[in-house]
Amino acid sequence: MTRVHDRGGWPGAGPIDRQEHQLADWELLADALVQSLASPHRGIIRIDELRRAIESLPSPDYESLSYYERWIAAVERLMIEKKIVTREEIDAKVATLGEECRE
């Protein structure tokens, strides 16, 4: 069984894009959300749970999303799984924040 995250020796891999990339604000936020949720002080998620959630993404998503996009998709999944938030709450908040941006 081939697992999409298990990349060692993956056939057809091409040249490495060595371009440097400055982390965007939302990427810093994604990292900070994970580190805060996983801190010993909070202990709400474990890094292995995050990895498991990332590995459970549908293969096309895993391959098309960027690194921190995968993190966000996984955090969302874990927060819903742990009944801390619902998908409806997140969707509603996305809509609210979108409106604030347009004002």
Partner 1 sequence: MRFREGDRVRVRADDRAGHVRTPAYIRGKSGWVAAAHGEFRNPESLAYGDEGLPKQPLYLVGFRQTDVWPRYPGRPTDTLYVDVYEHWLSPEEGSA
Partner 2 sequence: MSQGHGHGHDEHAPIRHDGHSSPLARRARALEALLTEKGVLTPADIRSAIDALVSRTPADGAKLVARAWVDPAFKARLLADPKAAAAELGIDLTSYARLGVVENTDKVHHVVVCTLCSCYPRMLLGPPPAWYKSLNYRARTVADPRGVMREFGLELPPKVEVRVLDSTADMRYLVLPRRPPGTEHVSEAELRSLVTRDSMIGVSNPQPERAHV
Question: Which does residue 60 touch among partner 1, partner 2, none (CB within 5 to 8 A, set by kind)?
Answer: none
Q: Which does 68 bind (CB under 5 to 8 A by kind): partner 2, partner 1, none?
A: partner 2
Contact between 19 and partner 1 per CB under 8 A: no
- What is the footprint of partner 2 within residues 14-73 (CB under 8 A)? 14-21, 23-33, 35-37, 39-42, 44, 51, 54, 63, 65-69, 72-73
Q: Let me know if 74 is exposed, middle or buried by CB neighbors in 10 A (0-12, 13-18, 19+).
A: buried
Subset of 22-61 contacting partner 1 (CB under 8 A):
46, 48-49, 51-52, 55
d(CA 3, CA 82): 25
Asked if residues 59 and 65 have their Cβ atoms less than 8 Å apart, the reply is: no
Q: Phi, psi at residue 85, to the nearest 5°? A: -140, 165
Partner from partner 1, partner 2, none binding residue 25, C-beta < 5-8 Å depending on class: partner 2
Q: Return the closest-CA partner of residue 82 out of 49, 39, 40.
A: 49
- According to the binding rule CB under 8 A, does residue 3 interact with partner 1? yes
